[in-house]
Amino acid sequence: MPRMVVVVVVVVVVVVVVVVVVVVVVVVV
* DSSP structure class, residue 29: -
* The pLDDT value given to residue 15: 99
- Would you give the distance in Å from CA 8 to the centre of its chain? 11
Confidence of residue 25 (pLDDT cuts 50, 70, 90): very high
Radius of gyration of the CA atoms of the chain, in A? 13
Domain count, the chain: 1
Identify the domain containing residue 2 by its residue range.
1-29
Please report which confidence band the pLDDT of residue 7 belongs to, taking 50, 70 and 90 as the band edges.
very high
What's the CA gap between 10 and 23, in Å, rounded?
A: 20
Name the CA dihedral angle for 5, 9, 14, 20, rounded to a multiple of 10 degrees: 150
